[in-house]
Each structure stands twice: as structure tokens, then as C-alpha cells.
Structure 1
Amino acid sequence: MASRSGPIVAPPARSGAVSSGYKFASTWEQNAPLTEQQQAAITALAHAAAERPMPSSHVGGLTTAAAAAAAARRQDQEATTTSPSSREAHEESADMATDLVELTSQHQFYKWFADLETAMKSETEEKYRQYVNTLTRQLEICDEILAHLDGTLHRFDDLQAQHQAVATKTKMLHDACERLVMEKERLIEFADALRTKLNYFDELENIATQFYAPSMTVGSGHFLPLLKRLDECISYVANNPQYADSSVYLVKFKQLQSRALAMVRTHVLTVLKNASAQVQAAVKENSSTGGGNGKMTAITLTEGAETSVLYVRFKAAGSDLKALMEEIESRASRKEYSQILHDCHSLYCEQRLALVQGVVSQRISDYAKKEPLPALTRSGCAYLVQVCQLEHQLFDHFFPVSSSEPSNLAPLLDPLCTTLYDTLRARFIHEADLELLCELVDILRGEVLDEQLGRRRDSVAGLHPTILKTLADVQERLTFRAQTYMRDEIANFLPSPEDLDFPSKLEKAAAAAGGGTDEDSRDYYSTWYPPLEKTLSCLSKLYRCLEPAIFTGLAQDAINMCSTSIQRASKLIERRASQMDGQLFLIKHLLILREQIAPFDIDFSVTHKELDFTHLLEHLQRVLRGQSSLWSSQSLARTFSPRVLDYQVDAKKELEKNLKMTCEQFIMSVTKIAIEPMLSFITKVAAVKVALRSRSADTEAHKALKEQAFATPDKVAEMVATVEEANKVQVPEVVAKMELYLQNQSTCSILFKPIKSNILEAHREVLTLLESEYTTEEVGQIKIMKLSELQAHLDALC
């Protein structure tokens, strides 16, 4: 049986269009996927096409009817998929199959079989041929579509290129439009800026026209805005000198400004004069005046009328200036306005001074006629404090910014304060009383500067320089009078016999104190030497009234003068009474002076400078001896110029030195009174011992100590008895006199302590000599006091 499969037909070679179509179909499949229903239909068709039924007739036994039936079924199945030509061929085959064939020979059979096989092959391959034809036609259609699409794509690329070109041109056009808009805006801004800048130059004519108009006055509402615009134009032109003709415009603008400021000055002067005229008229109505030649010489106003007339009315009359002055002050940072503001201050002060000077002078003159100097100082300063406050308030009303600077009111307040200064100075310059001058210093410094001016500060700052000047003059006068007082009452003091009546004066004071009289409180000071009392009294007054530097110099001089005067008095008392009285007098007063100056918190050391020409004398001597030349290597100016030497003098240290020296002299003198024989004996013993140790001593020196003429037991006993008598009689008298002069137990104890030590030490040395050089019997004959007994005796004394 022949194979049913037909010959394999090779697919035609794919052209470029087919490849493009295939790619397009693949892209289409990816971009347009089938639904599940569509895919199921395709799968069913694929299965139906894959199965082909066997023919109905069999070899050798198939009837033509069966073959015809099979052909009919195939025809029915392929009717929908085959072309008309194929259907016609199938119909012819069916017709042929329906004919009955009769085979009589083998040859016919083979022929029939070959025909049948050919028919079968043809029938089998027909479907594939049709499918191939269909695919070929589809490929041709796809090639046509791809060709069409290729042309479309080329046209699309051209269209895209054209669109890109159009977009590029559109963007360029848009950018050009934006540039033109920006350029237009810049030009508009430049034009506006140019117009703004030109406005400053164009204002010259406008401002000049308005300033020179007859109706333009400072009091009009257009003046200040026009002045402000003028300032803006000047500032702009001055800050932009690079513009053409800017210097010319600046000069013209400044001329207009000068004219405007001159108008301001004239207006201010007019307003102030009008206000002054109104106040003067009110003053005449409220005051009593007197004088000659038609000139007012005295003005008397009550305090209430003075405030109302001089200040309230002037404030009301000049209120028109307030707004103008505020504008001027707001521009005071500029030179022109600073000058016009200063002129306005001067005009104001001149008008106010003309109004109030007569009233203030009269009031201070009335005080001077009725009151003493301290009361005049208090009243005058209090009145001027009130005047300064009122003037400051009035000035602050017109010049609120300038009122914080005291110098602006100085032309007004200085003459008013000078009136009080002249009145006070004429009085205190002739004052000789130190207490009154010190009282003036206390008033000016404590009551006026610290209290009145310290509380009010800025409102009375104009009075401050005058008070300081007055205080300085009073202190200068006080310093001069203090120097004169110290020279006359301390340095050149001539003591009377009563002043030198020591110790009688002390004894009387002690008796009065013991009697409990009323003079107890003054006896303590009455026993002082007058220069000491005057020195301390003067220093205590000056300490709170003078500056530390000035007081230090005066204190230095006063202490030196007082110390010198006390030393002179001590020598005079030594002549009148005794050396011990003079020494105790000096110790007493030096101790008091040292104690009383201790509270003064000052440095009593003063550095003095003096010129030293000793080197010049030595140089001239060397020149005369030929040892040096006048024209030496040193310059002539250096050769003949003096040397400046500094030396320091400390009054307190000098006082301590004098006190120490006097105490040492007193201690030695009392020690001699108490143990002089014993001291002489100890000295001789020391000399003998030195001689005994000397090899060159004569034979007399080799005698024992008690064999010496001065050291026999009898002589020693006599010496000890003399010393014991002095310790029991004279030393208590000395202690009593010390207590009389010093009047302080602790001071007496301190001063007596070294005396006690000297007495005990001398006795200790004598007792040691007696134990070493004399026998017990000899010591018993001498009868010297034991150290313990002597210690108890001396302790009981002081």
C-alpha cells in the first residue's frame, strides 16, 4: 500500500518584507495578546486540522459508493476552507468515484491502482498546497503591509524630524521673546532709575521757586517738608559727584539751604523776642521796680509770681518753636544743622538771661544783706538749684534732645551761678575763722554737692562747675589760713609761765578730778600744752575739709611744728622744774600726738626734691688742679647741670624717733637715780677683772677684789644701803610722777618695765659677785635685798 503522506514541500524563502512582517507580527502578538477564549478556539482548530480520516473504499473490496461517501464527507469538511477551484476538483474526483470501475485484468488493476494512488496523493497534498498558497498570499499581503508600514515609518520619522525642527524654532522664539521682555524690563527700570535720579536735579527749580515765594514762611506747613526734600537732594548730589554738573547743583542746593536756615534763625529770634517782650510786660505788672535814667535796676517778685511769669508764660509764648526745634535736633548730626542748633541755643540763652538775671541778682543780694555767710551759702545754693531745675525743664520743652548736654545751657546758667559765686567769694575771701571756713566746706560738699546736686543730677548739672569752683576757692582760703594759723599759733607760739607750770598744773588737775568738780571733762585737755591742742584741733577740722594730698602736706608741717614746739617747751620746763619733768612732759605730749594722729588715714611721708651741685664743685677743683679739662668728653650742659636728689621725710617716723630717744633718755636717768652707785661698782669690778687677766698689770692689781679700796665689805655695804634707800624712796617718787604725767597705767608699766629690768639685772650681778668673791659673814654684813623681794617691791610700785 502506498504511503499516504505526500511529498514534503519546502517553504519558500523569506524575503525582507516577510522578515519585517514576522517581526511586526511578533511585536503585534506581544502588544495585542489573545484572550483565553480565542486561544481555545485556535487550539480546537489545530486539532481538527491535524486529523485526516481514512478513505471509505478498500483495496479490492471497496465499492465506489463508499468511496463516493468518503469523498462527499471530505468535501463537506473542506468546503469552508478550500478555494472554489479546489472545491471543483473535489467534486470532479467525487464524480469519478461514483462511477463504477470494473477490473478485468491485472494491468487494469495496476492502472486503476496508480490512478487511485495518484488521486490519493493529489487529494492528500491539495490541502497543503492550498495552505501553502494561503500562506504565500498572506506573506505577500504582509510584505505589502510591511512595505506600507515601512513607508509610514519613514514618513513618521520625517514628521518627527519636522516636529523637532518646529519645536527647536519655537523654543528659540520663546527664548528670544523672554530676552526681549527682560531687556524691556531692564530698560523700564533704567528709565525709572534715571527718572528718579533726575528728579533730584529737577527739584532745584521747584524748591527755589517755593523758597523765594513771598508767601513762604518758616511757620507755614510747607516749610519743613520742603526743607527735608532739600536735604535729600543735597545728600544725593553730594554722594554722587560722578554725575555731570553735580558740583554746580550742590552749590545751588547749599545756597538754598543757607537761605532756609537763615530764615529759621530769624524766625527763632523773632519768636523768642516776642516771648521775652510778653514776659517783661508781665514782670512789670507783678513787680516793684526802681532805678534811674529809665533803666531797671531792681526787680522783686514773689516765688509764685516768679515761676508763673518767668517760666509758664514764656513757655506758652514760645510754644511755636517746639515742632521746629525737634526737626532741627533730629538733623543735628549734619554740620549745617548743628551750627544752626547751636545758634538757636545761644539766642535762647541770651533772651532767657536778659529776663532772669536781674531777678536772680536781686534775690541773692537780698540774701546777702540779711544772712550770715553759712546761711547765705545754703540759701543761695538752694535758690540756684531751683532756678537751674526750672531753666532745665523749660529748655527741655524747646530742645528735648539737647537738654541732656549741660554745656548747651552753660551760656545761661554760668552768669547766673557767677552771681552767687561773686557774692560768696567777696565774703569768704576775707574770712579768717577756720571753723567758719570748715563749715562752708561742709555745706558746699555735703549739703549741696552730695545731697541737692546728687539727687537731681542732670537737671542741676549747670550749677555743678560753679559749686566746685567755689569749694576749691574756699579750700584754698582754708589752706592759707591753716598755714598762717600753724605758723602763728604753733611754730611761733610763745608760752606763758602758766603754760610751763609743770608739774603743778597736773597736780591741780588731779586734785580737781579727785574732788569731783565740773571741770573734770576739760581738765584732761587743759593739761595739754597749747600748741598740741591747737595742732590736733586744726588737723581734725582740716581732715574732712581738704583733699588728701593737701591735708597730707599740712599735717606733715603741723606735726613737725608741734613736735619742735613741745621739745622747746620741754627744755624750758627742765630749767624751771627738773630734767625728769621735762622728759616726762615731752613723753606725755609726744605720746598724745602719736595717738591722736593715728586715726588719720594718710601717708605722712613726703618726698622732697633738691638740686645738688657738689659734682660741679668737684669738677672745678679737678680743673684748677689740672687733673681735668673744662671741655671734657661730657657736654658742657651736662657738666654744669645740677643733679636732682629725692629725699623722703616722714613726720610720723620722726615723731616715733623722737619719742623713742626721749624714752631711752628717761629710762637711763631713772636707772641712774635707782642704781647709779651699783652701776659704778659693777663698772669698776669689770675693770679690775680685766687688769687681773693682764700680764703687764702691776702688783697692786694682783690683790683680791674685796681687798680693793672700792670693794671692801664696808664700801659694798654702804653702796648697797644707798641703792636700797633710792629704791625705797626715790623710785616710788619717780613712779608717782610718771603716773601724774602719763595718766595711763599701761603706759606707765611699759615705760617702767625696762627700768625694773635694769635694777634687777644690776642686783643679780652684785649678788653673783658677792657669792663668788666674799665670804658668808661678809655677805651677811652687806644686807642686800633678795631678788624675789626686790621683784615684789618693784611690781608693787607699777
Structure 2
Amino acid sequence: MASAPLPGSGAVFRGYNFANTWEQNAPLTEEQKAAITSLSLAVAERPFPPNLAQEQNLGKDGSAVDSPGDAVKEAGINVVLVNTHQFYKWFTDLESAMKSETEEKYRLYVNTLMEHIQICDGILEQVDETLNLFNELQTLQQSVATKTKTLHDACDRLLLEKQRLIDFAEALRSKLNYFDELENASSNFYSPNLSIGNGQFLPLLKRLDDCISYVESNPQYAESAVYLVKFRQLQSRALGMIRSHVLSILKSADAQVQAAIRGSGSNKASVAEGVEESVIYVRFKAAASELKPVLEEIESRSSRKEYAHILTDCHKMYCEQRLSLVKSIVQQRISEFAKKEALPSLTRSGCAYLMQVCQLEHQLFDHFFPSSSTDVSNMAPLIDPLCTYLYDTLRPKVIYQANLDSLCELVDILKVEVLGDQLNRRGESLAALRPILQRILADVHERLTFCARTHIRDEIANYRPSDEDLDYPARLEQHAVKASDTTVDDNSTIFGTWYPLLEKTVSCLSKLYHCLEPGIFTGLAQEAVEFCSISIQNGSKIITKKSSPMDGQLFLIKHLLILREQIAPFDIEFSVIHKELDFSHLLEHLRRILRGQASLFDWSRSTSFAMTLTPRILESQIDAKKELEKSLKTTCEDFIMSVTKLIVDPMLSFVTKVTAVKAVLSSGAQDKKEDSVLAKPLRSYAFAAPERIVELTQKVSDNLQQELPKVMAKMKLYLQNPTTRMILFKPIKTNIVEAHVQFQSLIRSEYSPEEMQNFGLVSIQHLQSQIDNLL
């Protein structure tokens, strides 16, 4: 028999819905689910509490009730069965008791479940009430949170507004502080107790500068222009106090130096020997230490116009005080140099002394103005007058100096020793000296250029050689004898063979090359080389008349080669462009005006008087080096041809005549009447007779044995360099051999071998060997 279903309960349904809703809204994690499962297993077999176990055995009235099992036990134990009826009755009772006992167990379990359901229904009702309370609480909480957030936002806005007002007040106060500072600054700067040495002066000055900068950058504020004027008045007063303070300290230092000099019983002129001594510099260094805070403050603000002006004034005051102290010392010392020493020594000593003074003055200036000492123009009021003393002393002596060696020495001293070595080595401390030294060097260059041009005109262009100067080859022979003496200097022997003008020219150019600018030197060198070359050519003509053409040619070759060799190291172009005015068209224009073909006052036409008086500029380029090369080449070619003609002129004449005869034969071949006359053999002509050929070859042989050795001896006398002689003699040898080749070729074609044996011809190999032996 199936048990009846449990009665439904609304509380159970609501509980299930609540649990389901709870599960959806608050899902459990895997760990939580595992914990619930473990808890369920742990409480599944839990027995009823003791109080519930006792209640099961009590009736409604509290009396004890025997369980069906007990009745069954009692029935089975205490009943005595007599007959079958009793047995059946006992069995029926026992079966009923057992059935009742079984149903009772389930009935009790149902009752228990019903009680639990009732309890759960009560709990769920309480949970519903609790949830309702929680919902009301949540609603109230949200309302409170909303009100709280609104309150917080209002507070934040009030705090922001408060901070904005505070910032605005502070900004307003910071801006007003600059204007309020006027009263404080006025009271301080007009106070009789305020001084430069006071520690409050520089901070007050900085605050005043800040106020001026602020007011200048904000002209839109009310009365900013008025405040700016008042602030500037205070600044001018402060800067005036600084200027007076600096001047007072400088004058005090100067007075201390003057007192020290007087106390030593000497004057400033006697201190010149020790211009770097402490009496002149240490006192001012102490003054620099006293002024250092103020001057550093001024230099740090020199980007502003007002402080740049006061810094410039301080520079001038310093330079004036120092100049008044040292000018007489420097002037006296330079005057002593000028009295005792020559111009080169004076230049060297004066520059060295002036560099020493300027270096000491620069060091002292750097103590006063460390940031301004790099600009050499700041010391110009001091250095320029000191340098002017040296310049005024040197310039008259330079102007009256006419000796090239002395002027070149001056250039070397100024350019190499002073400007190139000492000035660069000592650096920026002597940078202020550079302009005046360059000015002195420019004056020396100008004087040297004038003297060099005068020297070239008088000593080179207008050189008149004496008979001894052009006594060639006697001079060479005399120096050849001297050269054999080992006690004679080689250089003097070599120069002794030169044409004197060549030595003057080379010596002059060598001195000027490193002393003048390239552009100036180029013009002078071009003139000197041109005049020297012309003089050598004129001397060659005189030697040709006095001695021989060969002596004249070798003289010219020798000295042109020397001149070319000597000017080769000069890294310049011996080319200049001459410009001159050309008035050659003036006469023709005037003639046209006089004939009425052109008007004198017609300014619009090309034939006007203005165009007539306009000169033309003609340019001509002269390259002395190329002209020298050209003259040398022409002279060498003339010498080669003259020697060739001297040796093989008979052969050359013979070849020329044969060539002329052949030309006549070829040109007259078309004339039938003259064929019999012109076709005769070469030997039939008088100049080509066998006996004439013998004379010709003998004469050439004599020239080779007699004249050619003389030529070689003269070449050795004039040209000491074997390579030069070889270069010059090589084409002569080639011409001699070529003449023999042509001559022998003609002979072989026109004469029989028997006749040729009588001519005394030599082989080309023997001829070459014979010529080579002469070298």
C-alpha cells in the first residue's frame, strides 16, 4: 500500500523561489559548493536531539506511551497459548501489532516532517519580513548616499571656490607686492645709512630690477607707467652710487700707489724697470677684491641696457686710472729703447716690453672684470694709447729706413717672432696688441714695397754692367782656377761666375718673398725678372761682339737657366695685367667736331664731347716666366743650330744643293728640250765632283776632331752641371749623326763602291762612339 503524498505548503514554494532567486543573484563558487556538499554529508546521519527523543515516548498529557514494538515484545513473551484459536488470535494480534508498529514509524516520520515544514514556513516568513526590512533599509541607504554625495559635491565646489579665491588673492597680492615695493625701495635708497658696502644694497638692487622688469612687461596695469618712471629714478640713483663707489675705490688705489712711489723716494719714470712690481699691481688687486661683488653683479646683468652702460663706464674709469698711472712709465721705457738701440732691436725690445705690460694689465683687468676680459675692445682705452707710444716711436724710423735688409728683418721680427710666435703662444691676453702690431707691419710692408720698387728700378732696371762684368769667358776661366783651391768657399766661387745683376735680382727676390704679400711680390718679381732677363740678353749681345757668338749664346743660356732655377721655388705666377688709358680716338673725334660732323653739346649721341673725353682701358698680360722660357728655348735652338753648322756645314750645304738639283730636275721633267741637259749624273756637277767630296769629308772630320772638342770645352766652362750639358748636347749629336746619314745615303746612291772608298767615310757607329768620347 503506497503512502499518501505529503501535503503541499506555500511556505515551501516560497522558500524554493527565494532559494532559486538567491542562487541566481548570488551564485556560489566551486569552493563554496564543495563546502556545502561536505557539510551536507556531515549532518546527514545526525540523530535527533535528546529532547526530541524523549518527546516521542510522551503522550499529549505527558504520560509515557509504550511503542508498538514494546507491545509486540510483551505479547510474544508473556502470552500463553492453549489452543489453536488462541494461537490464531495471538498471531493476528501480533501481525496487527507489527503492522501498527511499521505504520507508526512512518507516521512519526511524517509528523516530524510536517513539524519541520511548519518550522521552515515560519522561518521563511521571518526571512520575507527580513528581506522586506533589508529592501527598505537599502532604499533608505540609497537615499542617504544620494544626499551625502550631493553634500560632498557641494563641499568640493565650495573648496574649489575657496582655493580659487585664495589663489586669486595671492596672485593679486604678489602683483601688488611689486607696486608696494616702491615705498620700501624709496625709503632704503634715499636713506643716508645705505652704502654700497652694506649687505642689503645688492638684494635691494635685485628686487628693484625685478620690479622694473615686471612693470615693463605689464603695461596694461593702471598707473604702470608712473611706477616705471619712479622705479627707473631709483635705479639711476643706485647705479650712480655704484659709479661713484667704483671711481672712489680706483682713485683711492691710485693715490696709494702714488704715495708708495713718493715714499720710496722715486718717481714713476724710475719705476719703469720694475713695471710689474707690486707697487703698481698689488694695490689694485686689493681694490679688485673690494669691488668684486658689485662688479660681478653688474656683469651678470650686462644683457640689460642700463647695466651695459654702467659696465662700460666702469671700464672707461678703470682704463683712465690705469693709463694715468702707467703711461709715463711706458713712454719713458720706450724712449730709452729708442736712444740705445737700432731699429730692429728697438722693434724687438719695444714689442717684448709692450707685450709684458699688456699681459700684466690684462691679468689685472681680469681681476676686476672676469666676464668682460675676453672682449679686447673693453681694454682699448688703456692699451691703444700705450701701443701708440711704440707706434709713434717706430713709424718715423721706418719711414726713413731705406735698407732692404733692415726692412726685411723688421718684417721677420713682427710677422714671425711677435705676431706668429709670442702673440699666438700667450693667447687672448695679448689680443689687444694685434691691431697696432698689424698696423706697424703694414707700414713696414708699405715702406719695403716702395724701397723694393726703387731698388728694382735703380739697381736692376737701370743697371749698367762694367767691362769686367761682361768679361766672358775670362771670368769663368779665372774662377775655374780659384775653384781648384780648396780653401775658397764654394758659394763665393759659384756666385763669382754669375752675372752680377743676376745675383742682385735673385738676392732681392729671396729677401722679399717671405716679407711681402703674394699679390705685391708677384708684381715686383715680374718686373725684376723681366728687367734681369733683358739685361742678360743685352749682355749676351755685347759678349757676342767682344768674344764670339758662341760665348754670347752660352752666357745667355747659363744665366737664363740659373734665373729659371732660382725663381722656381717661388710659389707665384709671374703674370701681371697692365691696364692703361687709350686716348687714340680723341684726335679723330675732335676732327669730326671741327668739321661740323658732330656736335660738341650733343650729349645723346656717341660722338658727343663726353664720349670724346672718355678713355678706353687697354689690358695687356705679361708673363715674365713664360717670356724667360721662350728666350731660353730660342737661345738653345740657336746654339744647337750654330754648333751643328760649325761641324757639318759642308755636308748640310751639299745635301741642300743636291735637294735643289733634284727639285729642278723634277720641275723641268715636262720640258722635252731640257731633258738631255738635266738628266746628267750628279758627279758631273762641279760641287759633287769626287775630289770635292773628299775635301768635304776631310773638312767635316777635321771639325769633329778640332772644333767639336772646343765646343765641349766651352760648354763645360759655362755649364757646370753635366746633366744640363747632356740635355743641350744631345740634339747636337743627333743633328751631326743625321747629317752624316743623309750625306752617306746620297753618296751611296750616286757613286760606285770604288769611289766611296776614296771618300774617307766613317761608319755611323764609329761616329757616335767618337762623339760620346768627347763627353
TM-score range, shorter chain: 0.7 to 0.9
Structure 1 stretch 736-745 or stretch 691-700: which is displaced more? 691-700
**Matched residue, 2:682:** 705
Q: Aligned residue for 1:384?
A: 354
Indicate the percent of aligned positions where both proteins have the same amino acid. Answer: 59
Corresponding residue of 2:28: none
Change (3 A) 1:581 1:85: closer
User: Is the CA contact 1:288–1:300 (under 8 Å) kept in the aligned structure 2?
Assistant: yes
Pick from 418, 422, 435 the counterpart of residue 448 of structure 1: 418
* Residue of structure 1 in register with 2:45 after alignment: 39
Is the 1:286–1:305 contact (alpha carbons within 8 Å) kept by the matching residues of 2?
no
Give the counterpart of 2:391 among 411, 421, 439: 421
User: Is contact 2:343-2:397 (8 Å) kept?
Assistant: yes
Q: CA deviation at 1:539?
A: 1.0
Pairing of 1:273-672 with structure 2 (within 5 A): 273-286=251-264, 288=266, 299-304=269-274, 307-317=277-287, 319-514=289-484, 518=488, 521-608=491-578, 648-672=621-645
**Is the Cα–Cα contact under 8 Å of residues 532 and 593 in structure 1 kept in the other structure?**
yes
Q: Which residue identity lines up with residue 665 of structure 1 in the other structure?
A: D
Aligned to 1:236: 214
Q: What one-letter code is carried by the residue in structure 2 that aligns with 1:169?
A: K
Unpaired runs of 5+ residues, structure 1, are 49-76, 98-115, 290-297
Partner of 1:779: 756
Q: For residue 523 of structure 1, what is the amino acid of its counterpart?
A: T
* Aligned-pair CA distance for 1:127: 8.8
For 2:611 and 2:166, locate their aligned partners in 1 and report how far apart those are by CA, in whole Å. 83
Match of 1:83 in 2: 60
Q: Does the Cα contact within 8 Å between 1:512 and 1:520 map onto a contact in 2?
A: no
How many residues align? The count is 730
Does the C-alpha gap of structure 1 residues 671 and 165 become closer, same or farther in structure 2, counting only changes over 3 Å? same
Q: CA deviation at 1:415?
A: 0.8
Does the 8 Å contact 1:609/1:646 carry over to 2? Answer: yes
- What is the identity, as a one-letter code, of the residue corresponding to 1:150? D
Q: Please tell me whether the aligned partners of residues 584 and 741 of structure 1 are also in contact (alpha carbons under 8 angstroms).
A: yes
User: Out of 13, 18, 37, which is 1:19 matched to?
Assistant: 13
Deviates more, 1:229-238 or 1:580-589: 229-238
| d(CA) in 2 for partners of 1:33, 1:727 | 147
| TM-score, length-scaled by structure 1 | 0.82
Q: Deviations over 1:458-506 (max 9, x none)?
A: 2222212221111121122111111111111111101111111111111
1:255 counterpart = 2:249: no
Q: Is the 1:616–1:639 contact (alpha carbons within 8 Å) kept by the matching residues of 2? A: yes
Give the equivalent residue in structure 2 for 1:101.
Answer: none
**Kept in 2: contact 1:713–1:778 (CA 8 A):** yes
Q: Give the distance between the partners of 2:174 and 2:633, measured in 1 at CA.
A: 94
1:217-259: CA deviation from partner (whole Å, max 9, x where unpaired): 2232221111111112122223333433333323322222122
Counterpart among 152, 173, 184 of residue 130 in structure 2? 152
Match of 1:174 in 2: 152
**Equivalent-residue separation in structure 2 for 1:206 and 1:691 (angstroms):** 127
SS of corresponding position for 1:760: helix
- Does 2:772 correspond to 1:795? yes
Letter in 2 for 1:281: A
**Does 2:198 correspond to 1:220?**
yes
Local SS of the residue matching 1:241: coil
CA distance in 1: counterparts of 2:759 and 2:699, whole angstroms: 12
Are the equivalent residues in 2 in contact too, given 1:265–1:344 (CA < 8 A)?
A: yes
Say if 2:461 and 2:531, in contact at 8 Å, map to a contact too. Answer: yes
Using the TM superposition, give the Cα deviation of residue 532 of structure 1 relative to its aligned residue in structure 2, in angstroms. Answer: 0.4
Query: How far, CA to CA, are the matches of 1:342 and 1:419 in structure 2?
Result: 24
Deviations 1:413-459 (A, max 9, x none): 11101111111111111111111111111111222223322221122
What is the alpha-carbon distance in structure 2 between the residues aligned to residue 45 and residue 214 of structure 1? 110
Q: What secondary structure is seen at the aligned counterpart in 1 of 2:762?
A: coil
Q: Match of 1:726?
A: 703
Counterpart of 2:47 in 1: which secondary structure? helix
Is contact 1:216-1:223 (8 Å) kept?
A: yes
Aligned partner of 1:685 in structure 2 is: 658
- Cα distance in 1 for partners of 2:369, 2:501 equals 59
Contact 1:406 1:461 in 2 (8 A): yes
Task: State the TM-score, normalizing by the size of structure 2.
Answer: 0.84
* Structure 1 residues 355 and 11: CA distance shift in structure 2, 3 A: closer
In structure 2, the residue matched to 1:674 is: 647
Q: Name the aligned partner's letter for residue 714 of structure 2.
A: K
Identify the range of structure 1 (365-374 vs 783-792) with the bigger mean alpha-carbon deviation.
Answer: 783-792
Output the CA distance in 1 between the equivalents of 2:482 and 2:402: 35
For residues 732 and 120 of structure 1, the distance between their equivalents in structure 2, rounded to whole angstroms, comes to 178
C-alpha separation in 1, matches of 2:211 and 2:58: 105
Q: Is the 8 A contact 2:57 2:64 kept in 1?
A: no
Q: What secondary structure, in the 3-state scheme, does the structure 1 residue paired with 2:269 have? A: strand
1:161 aligned partner, one-letter code: T
Q: Is the 8 A contact 1:610 1:644 kept in 2?
A: yes
Residue 744 of structure 1, CA deviation:
2.4
Rounded Cα–Cα distance in structure 1 between residues aligned with 2:165 and 2:684: 141
Kept after mapping to 2: 8 A contact 1:207/1:230: yes
C-alpha spacing 1:199/1:714, structure 2 compared with 1 (3 Å): same
- Distance in 2 of aligned mates of 1:119 and 1:588: 172
User: What residue identity is the alignment partner of 1:398?
Assistant: F
CA RMSD of the aligned region, Å? Answer: 4.2
Matched residues in 1 for 2:364 and 2:98: separation? 143
**Helix, strand or coil for the counterpart of 1:658?**
helix
Asked if the contact 1:210/1:216 (under 8 Å) is kept, the reply is: yes
Is the CA contact 1:79–1:87 (under 8 Å) kept in the aligned structure 2? no
Cα shift at 1:520: 5.8
Structure 1 residue 559: deviation in Å? 1.0
Amino acid at match of 1:465: P
2:482 and 2:709 map into 1 onto residues whose CA distance is 23
Q: Which moved more, 1:148-157 or 1:458-467?
A: 148-157
